[in-house]
Amino acid sequence: MWFRGTFPGMLRWNRWAVVRATIETMASKGKPSPRSAVSPLSDAQVERLAARHTLVDPTQYYPTGPRTPNQPEIDAQNPKATKRLLAGVSGVFRASCKTKAWGLEQVPETGPFITAASHITMFDVFVPMMSLFHMGRRPRYMAKAEMAKWPLIGKWFQLVGMQPVQRHSGKAKQIEETSIDILTSGRPLTVWPEGTVTRDPKKWVMSIKEGVGYIALESSRRLGHQVPLYPAVTWGAASINHWWPWPRKNVVMCYDHALDYSDLLADMDSWGEEPPAEAVNELMWRVLKRMNTVLEEIRGEQFPAEGYWDYRSMSRKPWPEAGGPFPAEK
């Protein structure tokens, strides 16, 4: 690998650490809790997950077995730059952590779909990106505009499909329309619906934006069928020291089954100009509850009984009825 076993390689690693440290401290309300707030993902827990699921290595091409890459999509998105970025990210992951995933066989080979990824750490940006690229797809990314200014890799992000989002710009409608255009053109889309790294003190998925519900419902209406919506939840990286990541920590991602929201599309021909707010809100809560349900399984821990972390109030609130009961409440 390009950074292993050489002093220049260690310098490159340190530059990567600087990038990640810079990312973590970018301006946003509150600060992520420290690594000490949670326990590392243990080998024993990974073994328990491996007994229930087929864990694969998402740092390699086609980890679930032979499949047909979407070559027109690959060729349309700066293939040389993408290949270099993918090789670099994969190398860093193989050196800094033991990454596993399950559910990637569900990634469609063609057609649009939405990935709603957790944002517990900044690794949650790279794990689904790396995994989907290795599965032969090239999603576009709705990501905060600051990413385009990151040292070393900001330009790469722009080349490989990042769609910059100006947060707090009052352009939410424009951002949603751009996202819908990506999907209706036949391309996949990845979003981080929390909008920033979680502020939950115990690093659960915090409250998410309604945009993910609106984009899914409206793009489905325009296409005339339900657009697959996959939660992707990553855990383990919260314990990694950005400056000295060794010994390697366990990182596991679940690329969950597609959420069924067909009931919310039943009367879409009568919606008017946009999906009803009630349907958008319902789907938003379904996504959030499902993401934390998956996170419970990966972590082997129970979600806080007091409820979810609300970013607006920076406090924990009880689950609403929307989205159905959270499994821990049953």
The domain ranges of the chain are 35-317
Q: What is the pLDDT of residue 148?
A: 61
Q: Is it the case that residue 18 has pLDDT exceeding 80?
A: no
Nearest of 70, 112, 110, 109 to residue 223 by alpha carbon: 112
| CA separation for the pair 191, 179 (Å, rounded) | 9
Give the type of residue at 61.
Y
Q: Which helix (H) or strand (E) holds 158?
A: helix 154-159
Q: Which helix (H) or strand (E) holds 212?
A: helix 211-223
Q: What is the pLDDT of residue 153?
A: 61
| CA separation for the pair 86, 94 (Å, rounded) | 12
State mean pLDDT over 14-18.
42
pLDDT digits (tens, 9 = 90+) for 48-67: 999 999 999 999 999 999 99
State mean pLDDT over 314-326.
96
Q: Is it the case that residue 313 has pLDDT exceeding 80?
A: yes
Q: What is the pLDDT of residue 57?
A: 98
Q: DSSP secondary-structure letter at 144?
A: E
Nearest of 148, 200, 140 to residue 23 by alpha carbon: 148
Q: Which helix (H) or strand (E) holds 9?
A: helix 7-24
What token pair was written down for 118?
Answer: 């957790």
- Position of tokens 């929307």? 322
**Ranges 96-105, 134-143, 247-256, 288-297: which has the least confidence:** 134-143
Banded pLDDT at 13 (limits 50, 70, 90)? very low
Cβ neighbours of 57 (radius 10 Å): 15
Pick 249 or 2 by higher pLDDT.
Answer: 249
| DSSP helix/strand/coil, 84 | helix
Most confidently modeled range among 134-143, 242-251, 288-297: 288-297
What token pair was written down for 76?
Answer: 């349309």
Q: Is it the case that residue 20 has pLDDT exceeding 50?
A: no
State mean pLDDT over 284-298.
98
Q: What is the pLDDT of residue 10?
A: 35
Q: DSSP secondary-structure letter at 6?
A: S
What token pair was written down for 313?
Answer: 């109030």
State mean pLDDT over 3-25.
39
Mean pLDDT of the residues in the chain: 87
pLDDT digits (tens, 9 = 90+) for 265-277: 999 999 999 999 9
Pick 149 or 9 by higher pLDDT.
Answer: 149
Q: Is it the case that residue 123 has pLDDT exceeding 80?
A: yes
Q: Which CATH code, of 3.30.1600, 3.30.300, 3.40.1130, 3.40.1000, is assigned to 35-317?
A: 3.40.1130
State mean pLDDT over 280-289.
98
Q: What is the pLDDT of residue 262?
A: 98
Give the type of residue at 50.
A
Pick 168 or 246 by higher pLDDT.
Answer: 246
**Ranges 34-38, 167-171, 258-262, 321-325: which has the least confidence:** 167-171
Pick 16 or 221 by higher pLDDT.
Answer: 221
pLDDT digits (tens, 9 = 90+) for 164-223: 666 555 566 778 898 999 999 999 999 999 988 999 999 999 999 999 999 999 999 999
Q: What is the pLDDT of residue 78?
A: 86
Q: What is the pLDDT of residue 28?
A: 67
CA distances from 15 to 26, 59, 114, 152 (A): 17, 21, 32, 8
Q: Is it the case that residue 17 has pLDDT exceeding 80?
A: no
Q: What is the pLDDT of residue 219?
A: 98
Strands 229-235 and 114-117: what pairing?
parallel
Q: Is it the case that residue 19 has pLDDT exceeding 70?
A: no
Q: What is the pLDDT of residue 2?
A: 30
State the DSSP string of 259-326: P--GGGGTTGGG--SS--HHHHHHHHHHHHHHHHHHHHHHHTSPPPTT-EEETTTTEEEPPPSTT---
Q: What is the pLDDT of residue 188?
A: 96
